[in-house]
């Protein structure tokens, strides 16, 4: 028989105006709800939850989330009271225990991880951009706190011990590791309360050195769209930007004192790109505890590769419903002049690359690049002039018609008659935005069960990440339809 766990309303009734007492009791209640959810999970083993188990899970999850929101609100209110009393400013200027700002501490963390080789150049650069270039001052402050807690070496050590033994690893934590974990959980609870996130009470925040939002930037990915597109990070459930077709300027001429200037007001759009939840599951053996450090490096590659492959497909052809909207999906939906028909139906001819390039407006040409599947690139490499010379000899150097070309394997590579075949895309890829939400989480499964319901000697790790993508200005692209 399970213990009755008090609700937030019952705690308010019991403790009245003593908010500190309510918060302490709420923290304890959250732990109890978490334990009950683990119990339901263990009862189900590898099977689906029964209707009764699902009701129990939903009830505990809902009560735990309500309590977390209350705890986060109280902590934020306490911070605001402290700022009001001592004159602290908001955002990245909040003092830390070392006497500097949280932003300064985050910069020290990134520098330490970079110098030690744990963060490659591209990841360190992206982490620094989070603190100085991306989002509002508030967003930069949240990113700074995340880098401080998720980049803490003590938190990374505590996390590794959990990987080795999800059930008892926390018993081996040093006091410093316990405090690092507490700070990470406090940050996670506050960000869950302030924005939409993964439902449920379990899971752990991954260290910075394992987070796809940082590690899969530029050179850390085999996906060309991550290398050539605009990649941004967000701390919320969506990214909001501003786009415009541009401003038209004019010469006033000799009669400039009497003639009214033309209205050059651009049409401004405010694209919102939501981030969607993805996951990757990795089983691993009990023996991992024998060499935790080596396992961390191995699992980093597995996790990032699994997430990268899933993202690569979505960034190309994703529907935008429950997953990122892909480049091809967005351009097809835009239609109109964005789509360029082949010179001959159901045939990819010599003139088609020229027609696609010529169709792109001049303002987007200087930064334009190509993407195509490998079979399409190979087809162009075999095209010849009337004299028998190669038509596109620069393909061997990764260029087509004086612009870079990249292999995008998820595009169409063969031609099917009487259907649309999108073989070649060309444009300014700063107008294709990929959004990563920082703060990736991991769920640890202590024992994986076999078909007979007995342990298999393996554990499980589920990586939850959130990302989105979309074209913010379709006119910056042209897509060949054969």
Per-residue pLDDT tens for 67-84?
Answer: 888 887 777 676 666 555
Q: Which tens digit of pLDDT belongs to each residue from 241-286?
A: 666 555 667 666 666 666 666 665 555 556 789 999 898 888 877 7
Chain centre to alpha carbon of residue 77 = 29
Element housing 336 (H / E) = none
Q: Pick the more confident residue, 136 or 96.
A: 136
> Angle at the Cα of 355 (from 351 to 359), degrees rounded to 5?
175
* Most distant CA pair in the chain, distance: 91
Angle at 390 (CA atoms; ends 386, 396), nearest 5 degrees: 165
Q: What is the pLDDT of residues 304-322, one digit of tens each?
A: 777 888 888 999 999 999 9
Cα–Cα dist 105/13, whole Å: 41
Q: Give me 435's structure tokens.
A: 């959004």
Phi, psi of 166 (to 5 degrees): -60, -30
State pLDDT tens for residues 373-386: 999 999 999 999 98
In angstroms, rounded to a whole number, what is the distance separating the alpha carbons of residues 432 and 271? 11
Whether the Cβ atoms of residue 38 and residue 56 lie closer than 8 Å to each other: no
Helical pair 19-44 and 8-15, crossing angle rounded to 10 deg: 150
* Per-residue tokens: 15: 């403790």
What does 441-460 look like in DSSP terms, one character per residue? EEEEES--B-TTS-B-SEEE
Pairing mode, strands 441-445 and 368-372: unpaired
What's 338's DSSP letter? Answer: G
3-state SS record for 412-440: CCCCCCCCCCEEEEEEEHHHEEEEEECCC
Report the pLDDT averaged over residues 90-98.
42
> Which has more confidence, 171 or 400?
400
Confidence of residue 169 (pLDDT cuts 50, 70, 90): confident
Query: Are the C-beta atoms of 60 and 36 separated by less than 8 Å?
Result: yes
Q: How far apart are CA 352 and CA 341, in angstroms?
A: 8
Strands (E), 264-393: 268-269, 272-274, 276-285, 339-341, 368-372
pLDDT: is 401 or 443 the higher one?
401
* Cα 48 from chain centre: 28
**Whether the Cβ atoms of residue 275 and residue 467 lie closer than 8 Å to each other:** yes
């Amino acid at each position: 028989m399970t213990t009755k766990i008090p609700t937030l309303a019952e705690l308010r009734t019991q403790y009245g105006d003593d908010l500190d007492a309510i918060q302490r009791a709420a923290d304890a209640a959250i732990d109890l709800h978490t334990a009950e959810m683990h119990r339901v999970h263990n009862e189900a083993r590898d099977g689906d939850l029964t209707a009764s188990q699902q009701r129990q899970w939903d009830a505990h999850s809902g009560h735990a989330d309500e309590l977390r929101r209350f705890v986060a609100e109280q902590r934020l209110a306490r911070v605001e009271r402290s700022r009001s009393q001592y004159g602290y400013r908001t955002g990245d200027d909040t003092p830390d225990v070392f006497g500097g700002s949280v932003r300064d501490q985050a910069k020290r963390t990134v520098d330490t991880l970079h110098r030690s080789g744990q963060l490659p150049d591209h990841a360190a650069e992206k982490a620094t951009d989070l603190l100085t270039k991306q989002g509002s001052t508030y967003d930069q402050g949240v990113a700074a706190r995340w880098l401080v807690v998720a980049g803490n070496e003590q938190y990374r050590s505590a996390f590794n011990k959990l990987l080795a033994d999800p059930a008892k690893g926390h018993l081996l934590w040093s006091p410093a590791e316990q405090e690092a974990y507490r700070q990470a959980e406090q940050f996670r609870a506050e960000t869950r309360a302030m924005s939409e996130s993964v439902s449920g009470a379990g899971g752990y925040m991954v260290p910075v050195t394992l987070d796809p939002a940082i590690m899969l930037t530029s050179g850390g990915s085999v996906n060309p769209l991550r290398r050539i597109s605009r990649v941004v990070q967000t701390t919320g459930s969506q990214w909001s930007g501003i786009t415009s077709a541009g401003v038209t300027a004019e010469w006033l001429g000799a009669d400039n004192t009497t003639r009214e200037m033309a209205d050059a007001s651009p049409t401004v759009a405010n694209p919102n790109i939501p981030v969607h939840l993805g996951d990757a599951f990795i089983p691993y053996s009990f023996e991992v505890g024998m060499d935790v450090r080596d396992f961390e490096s191995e699992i980093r590659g597995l996790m990032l590769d699994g997430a990268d492959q899933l993202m690569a497909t979505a960034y190309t052809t994703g529907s935008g419903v429950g997953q990122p909207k892909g480049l091809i999906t967005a351009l097809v939906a835009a239609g109109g002049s964005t789509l360029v028909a082949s010179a001959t139906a159901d045939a990819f001819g010599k003139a088609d690359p020229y027609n696609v390039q010529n169709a792109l407006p001049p303002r987007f040409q200087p930064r334009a690049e190509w993407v195509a599947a490998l079979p399409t690139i190979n087809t162009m490499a075999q095209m010849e002039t009337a004299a028998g010379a190669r038509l596109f000899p620069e393909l061997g150097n990764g260029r087509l018609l004086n612009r870079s070309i990249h292999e995008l394997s998820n595009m169409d590579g063969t031609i099917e008659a009487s259907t649309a075949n999108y073989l070649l895309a060309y444009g300014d890829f700063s107008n294709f935005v990929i959004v990563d939400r920082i703060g990736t989480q991991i769920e640890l499964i202590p024992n994986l069960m076999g078909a007979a319901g007995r342990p298999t000697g393996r554990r499980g790790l589920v990586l939850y990440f959130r990302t989105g993508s979309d074209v913010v200005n379709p006119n910056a692209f042209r897509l060949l339809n054969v």
